[in-house]
Amino acid sequence: MASDSKRGNLGKKNGKRHEGTVLIASTDAGLRRQWMLGLQDAFAIHEVSERPELERAMINLKPTVLLLDSDLPRLDGITGLSATQRLSASTKIVLFAGSLDEREAINALKAGAKGCCKKEIEPPLVRKAVNVVQKGEIWVDRKTTSRLLAELTSLTESHQKEGPSLSEGNLKYLTPRERQIALLISEGACNKEIASRLNVSERTVKAHLSATFQKLQISDRLRLGLFVARHNHVNHAPPSTIGRTLDVY
């Protein structure tokens, strides 16, 4: 089947600069059109319908976001998801499935996906999901959010029992600015809001976060929020952190 990846100019309209490149991978042309509806005025859209086309597009295009149909032939489930992510580490993957329980969704996130959606999602929510994962956040449903936070809370408690790797003492290695940003993360602020409040660039915020993750031996902003909240005597999963770091639908 011929690739539709040449449809790359859809992201520009009236000369407007697009916000990134979205690759849509599904054998179902109707689903591809539906997912595209909310995106084509702001993103360059490329479509593929087979696994080999997907692999070539990931390598050559390095798309900003991949909308991936879980039923794509020869994807091989979670294993294929991990292999696809390795083709372009910077690409944010949103997995679409006809039905996906909380355990499967969490496994998809662990394999590299930044979001999980039902295939019949409305176009405006597709746009919102893309915007959310572009910011480095996660898009999942409410049931998955509850289960994921329960797992992360359990993991955090285990780390606390096992040793000092995530202890209060680690915070002393943070600069005053890194502490300030970590606290804002625990309150649910996204990078753009933090940059605005501190009068710095988003790139500066990301640089401070990278340094913080390394110093605290924490892999992502959700764990950072839980860690800081715990040491400030707040609940393990404060509502503000849930609502912003894990966007729900």
- CATH code: domain of residue 237: 3.40.50.2300
Alpha-carbon distance of 228 to 182, in angstroms, equals 7
Backbone angles phi, psi at 66, to 5 degrees: -115, 125
Beta-strand ranges (E) seen in 74-215 are 92-97, 113-118, 138-140
Question: Which pLDDT does position 184 carry in this prediction?
Answer: 85
> Are 68 and 81 a contacting pair, CB within 8 Å?
yes
Alpha-carbon distance of 234 to 130, in angstroms, equals 31
The reply to whether 129 and 177 lie within a common domain is no
The reply to whether 156 and 48 lie within a common domain is no
- Per the rule left: phi > 0, alpha: psi between -120 and 50, beta: everything else, 229 is alpha
Q: Which of 103, 137, 171 is the last residue of a domain?
A: 137
Q: Is residue 1 part of a domain?
A: no
Question: Which pLDDT does position 157 carry in this prediction?
Answer: 53
The reply to whether 19 and 131 lie within a common domain is yes
The reply to whether 35 and 131 lie within a common domain is yes
The reply to whether 123 and 157 lie within a common domain is no
Local confidence pLDDT in tens for the 249 residues of the chain: 444 444 444 434 445 567 789 999 999 999 999 999 989 888 999 999 999 999 999 999 999 999 999 999 988 877 788 899 989 989 999 999 987 777 888 888 888 888 998 898 899 999 999 998 988 888 887 777 666 666 655 555 554 454 444 445 567 788 999 989 988 887 767 788 889 889 999 899 989 998 998 888 887 777 787 777 666 543 333 333 333 444 545
Question: Which pLDDT does position 88 carry in this prediction?
Answer: 92
Total structural domains within the chain: 2
| Structural domain that includes position 25 | 8-137
DSSP string over 28-75: -HHHHHHHHHTTTTTSEEEEE-SHHHHHHHHHHH--SEEEEETT-TT-
Q: Which of 111, 137, 163 is the last residue of a domain?
A: 137
Q: Is residue 189 part of a domain?
A: yes
The reply to whether 199 and 155 lie within a common domain is yes
- pTM, entire model: 0.62
The reply to whether 162 and 86 lie within a common domain is no
Question: Which pLDDT does position 32 carry in this prediction?
Answer: 94
Q: Which of 87, 105, 137 is the last residue of a domain?
A: 137
